[in-house]
Amino acid sequence: MFPPWAPPKRLTGYLGVEMDRPVGIICRNVVSMRCRPDALSESVSQALWGERVALMADSRGFALIETPDGYRGWVIADAVCPALSLTGRSSTRLRDTGAEPAAHASGLWGTDEQERVIGELLAPLRTQPRSDARPITLLTIGARVTMAAGSDDDGYAPIALPGGGIGFVETSAIREPPSARIASREELAHEAFRFMGIPYLWGGRSTFGMDCSGFVQMVYGLHGTILPRDAYLQAAWTGAEPVERNGLSPGDLVFFGGDDPRGRGITHVGMALDPPDFIHAAGGTGVTISSLEDLPYSAIYRCAVRPRLTA
């Protein structure tokens, strides 16, 4: 996905100088990031519960945010809470270093030892530690949660809520943060299988719907490697190395081209399985498995890369 109003920018400022930006935390399960401060404008991506975002501007009840992958979009302002609403140890400002997006993003993810990530496709956040308690919201895979004081209670973990209060999530749905996980490429492929059947959604990167680049970004992100947001940016990313088609391995990213009025060359991405199969979020279908030898993919295949795994 690519916002038509401007390319994604890191926080180096328009003149390339360092600058401070306030940091907020997303306090809705999923919030659309739009190309303009207008609820009817195009959705270019999504921000998920607990993600730390840089606050760039505000307008008419909307906030311009930058997510950990360096992507910008307008969200409803009340979907973002001050960073200090979760823990007094969180930084309330971010100073940019001009680093590569993946390295830059590690600061926005936070380093709080109480931070965890939702590892199940969906996990109800409840008012009490029991299955019949009223749900507060429905957290999606990849959402960030901060553990609250107290121990697990009947299989439920206490979670600090933005703005104060405590909620409860099943302990089995919570993972250690991605920085603590180093995946093999086979594990990445196995992770990808879990998303089979998730519907396609332009600009989506959650269980409720994903686009092609949001899908592979989520799979890698769950294991500590933050890819750029768009397919054409992923293909050119310096954190990956080119791979020949006859040398593909599970986890490699395969790219395709097609009609594109913006002239980017790359319009679709998937993840290699056992060649020639690959898994991808296909428009009109959702997350599915296809073959590089079948049309239309055999005709529009462009290149492949192998991201370097980080932790």
246, burial (CB in 10 Å: exposed 0-12, middle 13-18, buried 19+): exposed
Identify the active-site residue in 27, 35, 212, 223.
Answer: 212
**Catalytic pick from 35, 104, 223, 268?**
268
**What is residue 277's three-state secondary structure?**
strand
Q: Cβ contacts of residue 56 below 8 Å, gap of 6+?
A: 21, 63, 64, 65, 66, 72
Residue 75: which of 125, 3, 138 has the closest Cα?
Answer: 3
Q: Which of 27, 35, 223, 280 is catalytic?
A: 280
Name beta bridge partners: 200: 210
Respond yes or no: is residue 268 known to be catalytic.
yes
Angle between helices 185-193 and 212-221 (to 10 degrees): 130
Give the span between the Cα atoms of 235 and 87, in whole angstroms.
37
- Give catalytic residues, as residue numbers: 212, 268, 280
